[in-house]
Amino acid sequence: MTEQSIGAGETDLNNDFTDWTKTTDSYQASTSFQNNGVDYGMTSAFPSSDGSHNDPLFKNTISVSGQDHTYSFSKGSSRTSYMVANGRQITMYSATVNYYQRTDSEGNPQIAKVGEADYSGGPRYQVEEILTLKKDGSFVHNIKILNKSEKTVSTNFGWQLDTMLDDVDNVPLYADGNNGIYMNSPDLTLYLTPITNSTVYAGHYSSSSITANTPAEGVAAGTVLVDNVDTAVEYRTPKVDLQSNDTYSFSFKENLILRDIPSESDSTSDSISDSVSDSDSLSDSDSGSTSDSISDSDSISDSDSISDSQPDSDSLSDSDST
C-alpha cells in the first residue's frame, strides 16, 4: 500500500521519542503469549556495532514451546543485512546513534534507534527504525528517513535482509499471493510482508552485498522466486524527491509461524491462525524443494567479513542527486 508519507521541516528525528525511555544497545525487548495451547516467546535486541558502524534491522528470535528460531544470518544477527539508497549501501555511524524503548498503548513492547548514515560522497541522512513485537507473532518495522543534506535528493530506499531460516542459509523464497514472500523449513514458515510505501523483492547474497530484483508483487501463491542460492530479500520504496529536512516513511513486517499449529483460531490471536491456514496449503506442496535446499546449504555460506566498499546495484541506474 502506498500513502503520502513525505514530511517537511524536521531537523532531528530524536524529537519523535520524547515520550520514550532512553536506553542502551544492550537492551532487549520481549513478549510472550499462547495460541492453541502452544507457548510463544518473541525477543528483539539492537544490532551489533564494530565501534564505528552500526548494523541495520534488529536481532529477532521467536521461541515455540521453548525452542528458539531465527530468520537472518547468522542465527538472528543482522551483520550481513544492509540499508541502501539507489542500490548503494549507506552506513550508520555508531557515535550518532541513540536507543529507545517503551510499551505502546496496546501493550506491545517497542525498541527504536536513531542515527546518521551516508555512503562515501553521498548525501547525509538521519534514520529512525522502530520495531514492535506484536502478539499476533509479527515483528513490525517502521522506518523514517530525514534528508540532512542541503540539497534535494532523488532516490529510493531499501532495507536488505540476508535470510537464514534457523540453520538453512539457501532456503528457497516463494510468492505468497498477497504481494509478499514466504519461506519454510520442516519446522517453520516465515512471511515477509510490505505494509506501506514498500515492495518486497527476492534475491541473493554474495561477496558482502545483496542483489534483490525479483518482485513478489502480483505473483501467484507458491511461485518460486529464488532458489539454489544464498537467498536474501529487499523491502524497497518507490523513488522520492526529498528536499532538505524532508522525511520519508515506510513499513514492513515479518511473521514467523510454526507449520504444525492447528488452523482453528482462538481468542489470543486471530491473525496467527489466519496466516497458518494459508501457510499450510502453501508449504505442504513445497516441502520437497525445501528439503533439497537443506541438503545443499553446507556448500553456500555468508562471508564473515563485511567489506567497507559501497557497491553499486547494476539494476538501479539512477544515482542520488545532491
List b or e across 181-212, with b for residues whose CB sees 16 or more CB atoms inside 10 angstroms: bbbbbeebbbbbbbbebbbbbbbbbeebbbbb
Look over the chain and give the mean of its residue pLDDT values, rounded to a whole number. 81
- pLDDT band for position 311 (cuts 50, 70, 90): very low
Q: Residues 278-305: what's their mean pLDDT?
A: 38
pTM of the model: 0.79
What's the whole-number mean pLDDT along residues 51-73?
86
Residue 7 confidence (pLDDT): 85
Contact 261, 276 (CB under 8 A): yes
What confidence score (pLDDT) does residue 306 get? 36
Q: How far apart are CA 28 and CA 272, in angstroms?
A: 23
Count of CB atoms situated within 10 Å of the CB of 262: 14
**Rounded alpha-carbon distances, angstroms, from residue 143 to 59, 214, 220, 322:** 16, 22, 28, 22
pLDDT score for 176:
96
Between CA 5 and CA 12, with CA 11 as vertex, the angle to 5 degrees is: 90
- Give 8's Cβ-side CA count (13 Å radius): 4
Dump pLDDT digits (tens) for 195-250: 999 999 999 999 889 999 999 999 999 999 999 999 999 999 999 999 999 999 99
pLDDT for 261 beyond 80: no
Q: What pLDDT is attached to residue 3?
A: 55
User: Position of cell 499476533?
Assistant: 136
Q: Determine which of 50-54, 162-166, 194-198 has the lowest per-residue pLDDT on average.
A: 50-54
Confidence of residue 2 (pLDDT cuts 50, 70, 90): low
How is the chain split among helix, strand and coil, in percent rounded to 5? 10, 45, 45
User: How far apart (Å, rounded) are the C-alpha atoms in residues 19 and 235?
Assistant: 28
Digit-coded pLDDT (tens) for 135-158: 888 999 999 999 999 999 999 999
Count of C-beta atoms within a 10 Å radius of residue 104: 12
For position 126, what pLDDT does the model report?
A: 97
- How would DSSP label each residue in 163-217? B-BTTBSS--EEE-SSS-EEEE-SSEEEEEEEEES-EEEEEEEETTEEEEEEE-T
Beta-carbon contacts of residue 235 (< 8 Å; ≥ 6 apart) = 141, 158, 159, 161, 192, 194, 198, 199, 200, 250, 252
Average the pLDDT over 40-62 and give the result: 86
Tell whether the model's pLDDT for residue 298 goes beyond 50.
no
pLDDT for residue 5 is more than 70: no
Q: Let me know how long the chain is.
A: 322
d(CA 322, CA 308): 23
DSSP secondary structure code for residue 219 in this structure: P
Residue 1's pLDDT band (boundaries 50, 70, 90)?
low
Share of the chain above pLDDT 70, in %: 78
Q: How many CA atoms lie within 13 A of 242 on its CB side?
A: 34
Tens digit of pLDDT for each residue in 6-33?
A: 888 889 999 999 999 999 999 999 999 8
Residue type, 106: E
Residue 245: predicted pLDDT = 96
